[in-house]
Structure 1
Amino acid sequence: MAMHTEMLYEWFQAQGGSIDTSSIGITEFPLYGRGGVALRNIEAGQTLFSVPRELTLSIRTSSLPNQLGEGAWKQFGLDSGWSGLILCLMWEEAQGDASKWSPYLRTLPSTFDTPIFWDEDDLCGLQGTAVLNKIGKNEAERDYTEKVVPAIQSRGDIFPADAVPQYYSLQRYHIMGSRILSRSFHVEPWSSDEESETDGVVQAVGDSAAPMEIDVEMPSAESGFTVEPGEENPENATEEVEIAEDEEDDDSENPADVAMVPMADMLNARFGSENAKLFYEKHELKMVSTKFIKAGEQIWNTYGDPPNSDLLRRYGHVDVLPLSSPLTGEGNPADIVEIRADLVVDVAVNALKNQPQERVDWWLENADDDTFVVLTDCEVPEELVSFVRLLLFPQDEWEKIRNKGKLPKPKVDIALLFIIADVLRRRAQDYPTSLEDDELLLAPGKVEELSLNGKNAAIVRLGEKRILRGTLQQVQSMEEKLRASMAGSKDKKRGRDSQNASTSVRGKRSKR
């Protein structure tokens, strides 16, 4: 690893990158693999390394789009989704030393523990979790067949037939896609003296061929940052670079804004541990320490603290940390449970014996929310309460809500809590194991018997089940309090009625 790191440093600096080798090093960390380490005490605000814009690898900087041509790029659908960027990485790798990024690409992993590479038996362990329906393997393979293969077959001069098995196979497509999913950043476009503006489209300079106009939606043709009114020095403006999200998370993601950023993707991330962030300026990206880092400590980037379901799907690992009340034990404090609206409807239909399709359609049109997310605070989402109220309304109340065009207020009552409790129980039945089963699987002495995939799947399941059980307990507690309050109100009313009756009787007696 030391030789690869030294070669990466040499290449990085030869390409115009700068790195403070007295402050940051690359080493292996147990459980986390390769990552950045502080070689000495690092104060907050220190630049650890900077990356020239042109050293990022994207469809703006790779010369493949220029060589294929704008018309063909659009014809094969490479201008939408991630297939275009994946093909760029495949092509750059196929160029060998002729590619500017060859030394960098050789440092990237070719094996992953993400579910897209799991076999069917391992995938069964993810049943019921938020992972299974978001892996996207079928969609990725459809893009490969319908977009990438026709593009490759159309230009034998760019994609030699004898190179296809090694560099352009479906397996290689999945590997490159996984590299992007786990290591890319969202880097907005920028301008330079060499760029020109034509009809609102930025022409980005490639390595060799003349720049091609890529017709994509760009925030601005002027810069990669927004200059607020009154700002006097936009030349030095700086904003944070975001970890790139996949299309499942953000349908508006511009594929041209997604880039591989050498050196930045060497840093690991962990929930609540961020001590460095990547910021972008007009001509370069900078990794800057955000707090004091003690010598010997790992340098952590941030990925926004996602739940274990997303960590496993994107990166192939999970976070396990102490949990806060109302949950106990260890897990990911950012875990979530997703509850589908159709499950809620099924439960409500069974309880009410009606078909509320008109109300469901109205909800989807006005709320645009077909999934409800429960967090580790185990609070019932207000949107879920509002939706259940809509389903439970008498016809006249439903008509009033529809005419006003406003969502119901999230007020709870006994009938509503009964439905939500049943929804939580039904949701817990989606998993192949019980909460107690998973606790036993992950207990000391047992967990060692699990494969890595089996262990990670059990951790994701257990995290979600704890939230469901905790939320069910909250709902039951709310129901008990409501019943107690109602009983108290009835007792008070009976007391008042009794007192009124007694007064009336005494009054009558006094008249006798």
Structure 2
Amino acid sequence: QPAEATEAGTRSPPPAPPLWAQNGIFSGIDGRTMAAAAAISSEEGRGRNESYFHKSGSDLVKWARGRGAWVHANVGVSNGCAGGGPGLRNFGEKINCGEILLRIPPSLFLTPAHPPHLIKLRWGGVNGDEKEIDGDEEARLSRLLGDLGGWERLALRLMAEECSVASSPWAPYLRCLPSTYPLPISWKAKHRQALKGTSIDVGAERAIIVSFFKSRILPLLKRKGVTSTQGG
């Protein structure tokens, strides 16, 4: 969002609403409800500070360049982007319209893994402690993974990498991800209660997601060795 130029100088634009609030499904919500929800979202999202992201962001850029990516000299990773959360930011001089900011080679893409690849990748043990998988177990895992869609396999791939973050090729990227996601659907129970009766009551949608997780994802995690999960 560009700054607004005036005769008195340059004035910064007003803060952008949280990214979830910019979704079209929330259009028409009264200002008071939206302001209260945005305040809760901000509270839920507190955690890693800007100095943490400055270091981990620098590590991420250094890692990406070392793996063949090209990153504009003035671009870095910050936790102070519009709408909240980590993202790219200009840390240097003005970047002209049309300048290339990033060139990312396909080797750095974290993509939905095909079932056999995901099983062999990191699904044999916990925290990088790999173990042999017999043919029957591999077949069972393949059937479970084969029922998942692309974004579901991508989420599972990400979770598998995070289980072994110390040895993951994407470790610098994983360390830049937020520790919490302050979307209304993931708020703590006391905060979700405040949304009941409003047009952004997410109770029903959350119940569907929880049911899907318990029936489709949790069985895979249990085979990985995870016996419990945390949730609000």
Q: 1:41 to 1:13 in 2, by over 3 A?
A: same
* Paired residues for 1:307-456 under 5 Å: none
Tell me whether 1:32 sits opposite 2:84 in the alignment.
yes
Q: 1:149 to 1:123 in 2, by over 3 A?
A: closer
Distance 2:183 2:104 in 1: 28
Q: 1:147 to 1:61 in 2, by over 3 A?
A: closer
The SS at the match of 2:89 is strand
Letter in 2 for 1:171: Q
Contact 2:58/2:77 (CA < 8 Å) preserved in 1? no
Show the counterpart of 1:356.
Answer: none
Tell me whether 1:122 sits opposite 2:191 in the alignment.
yes
Q: 1:54 to 1:125 in 2, by over 3 A?
A: same
Q: 1:171 to 1:29 in 2, by over 3 A?
A: same
Q: 1:102 to 1:26 in 2, by over 3 A?
A: closer
Percentage of matched positions with identical amino acids: 26
Contact 1:73/1:79 (CA < 8 Å) preserved in 2? no
Distance 1:170 1:140 in 2: 14
Distance 1:32 1:125 in 2: 22
Tell me whether 1:64 sits opposite 2:123 in the alignment.
no
Show the counterpart of 1:148.
Answer: 217
* Paired residues for 1:70-469 under 5 Å: 72-75=141-144, 78-80=147-149, 82-133=151-202, 136-154=205-223, 159=224, 161=225, 164=226, 169-171=228-230
Distance 2:109 2:143 in 1: 23
Contact 1:78/1:84 (CA < 8 Å) preserved in 2? no
Give TM-score scaled by structure 1 length: 0.28
Distance 1:56 1:65 in 2: 18
Contact 1:141/1:170 (CA < 8 Å) preserved in 2? no
The SS at the match of 2:181 is coil
Give TM-score scaled by structure 2 length: 0.56
Contact 1:59/1:65 (CA < 8 Å) preserved in 2? no
User: Whose strand fraction is larger, Structure 1's or Structure 2's?
Assistant: 1
Contact 1:115/1:135 (CA < 8 Å) preserved in 2? no
Letter in 2 for 1:18: W
Distance 1:84 1:33 in 2: 24
Which has more radius of gyration? 1
Q: 1:57 to 1:78 in 2, by over 3 A?
A: farther
Distance 2:150 2:205 in 1: 12
Distance 1:98 1:130 in 2: 44
Q: 1:146 to 1:4 in 2, by over 3 A?
A: same
Show the counterpart of 2:20.
Answer: none
Distance 1:20 1:41 in 2: 12
Show the counterpart of 2:96.
Answer: 43
Q: CA deviation at 1:102?
A: 1.4
Distance 2:64 2:209 in 1: 31
Unaligned runs of 5+ in 2: 1-51, 124-137
Q: CA deviation at 1:77?
A: 5.5
Show the counterpart of 2:63.
Answer: 11
Q: 1:148 to 1:33 in 2, by over 3 A?
A: closer
Show the counterpart of 1:283.
Answer: none
State the number of aligned residues: 162
Q: Which moved more, 1:40-49 or 1:111-120?
A: 111-120
Letter in 1 for 2:68: G
Contact 1:8/1:104 (CA < 8 Å) preserved in 2? yes
Distance 2:194 2:181 in 1: 18
Letter in 1 for 2:65: Q
Q: CA deviation at 1:91?
A: 0.9
Q: CA deviation at 1:66?
A: 5.3
Q: 1:96 to 1:119 in 2, by over 3 A?
A: closer
Letter in 2 for 1:142: S
Distance 1:144 1:81 in 2: 15
* Residue deviations 1:425-462 (CA, integer Å, cap 9, x gap): xxxxxxxxxxxxxxxxxxxxxxxxxxxxxxxxxxxxxx
Distance 1:12 1:135 in 2: 40
Contact 1:76/1:150 (CA < 8 Å) preserved in 2? no
Q: Which moved more, 1:7-16 or 1:133-142?
A: 133-142
Contact 2:85/2:178 (CA < 8 Å) preserved in 1? no
Letter in 2 for 1:26: V
Letter in 1 for 2:89: V
Contact 2:65/2:71 (CA < 8 Å) preserved in 1? yes
Distance 2:79 2:149 in 1: 37
Q: CA deviation at 1:70?
A: 7.5
The SS at the match of 2:62 is helix
Distance 1:146 1:45 in 2: 47
